Amino acid sequence: MKKALDLLLRLDDHKHDGLGRLFLDPADERETRRALRAYLGSKVTIKTIALEGVHLRVRVELPDFQAESDNLVRLARDLSTRASPKAARGQLEEALKLFPLNGTALKGLGRACYGQADYTRAAALFVRANEVLGEDGEALRALGTISLREGREASAVAYFDRAVSSNPKDQTARRALEQLRERIEARFTSGTVPRGPSGQSGEGIRPGPRIRR
């Protein structure tokens, strides 16, 4: 049995990877499908594609092993509470082998990667989770935190703003957004541009809200 899912990809999430060109320089449908298959994996079948400015809507199908995948996610959660992070991560990896678009598993593995300072993979997992779950506040807040840690303030503001829009009750994201905007405004007013990682602005900016494991 197959399961159909509707994904929403955004240019803002793919400005620095190969998919970004699909928004900026639309290719023919065959090349677009090839790029999406490479991004989503061989188990995912691309059904329809619709480019709408900075959004790319994609309907996909894949073997419906979500229930089995969810069971492994629950096992991973139980292992995590028993202080077995390596075993928990292994179960999350297996969950995604069964059902690659399990949003909860993607977020769980993203948290695990963040905890091991693998911020690049963590960000990719949170982006994918958000595309599956549709503007997920937790995933967006995590992306804001990672962007802030890497000194990409504009991206951090955008992600925290999206997190608050998705979940207005998320006080952690709201405080992070307000504090970041205040610091940026204060720097602009004073005319100072502090240096962060690799010379970009960001000095004095805390890494952001902690990503819950």
Same domain (yes/no): 53, 76: no
pLDDT category of residue 119 using cuts at 50, 70 and 90: very high
* pLDDT surpassing 60 at residue 29: yes
pTM of the full predicted structure?
Answer: 0.87
Asked whether residue 124 is domain-assigned, the answer is: no
Same domain (yes/no): 201, 162: yes
* pLDDT surpassing 80 at residue 200: no
Res 192: pLDDT:
62
Same domain (yes/no): 145, 204: yes
Asked whether residue 20 is domain-assigned, the answer is: yes
**Alpha helices, H only, 16-152:** 20-24, 29-40, 66-81, 85-98, 103-115, 119-133, 137-149
Backbone angles phi, psi at 132, to 5 degrees: -75, -45
Same domain (yes/no): 87, 23: no
Q: Model confidence over 50-65: pLDDT tens digits?
A: 999 899 999 999 999 9
Please list, in sequence order, all residues whose beta carbon lies within 8 angstroms of the beta carbon of residue 102, skipping any fewer than 6 positions away.
66, 69, 70, 73, 95, 96, 132
pLDDT category of residue 82 using cuts at 50, 70 and 90: confident
Res 34: pLDDT:
93
Quote the domain boundaries for residue 23: 2-63
Neighbour tally for 53: CB within 10 Å? 7
Portion of the chain with pLDDT greater than 90, in percent: 74
Q: Of the ranges 70-84, 108-122, 169-183, 199-213, which one carries the lowest mean pLDDT score?
A: 199-213
How many structural domains does the chain have?
3
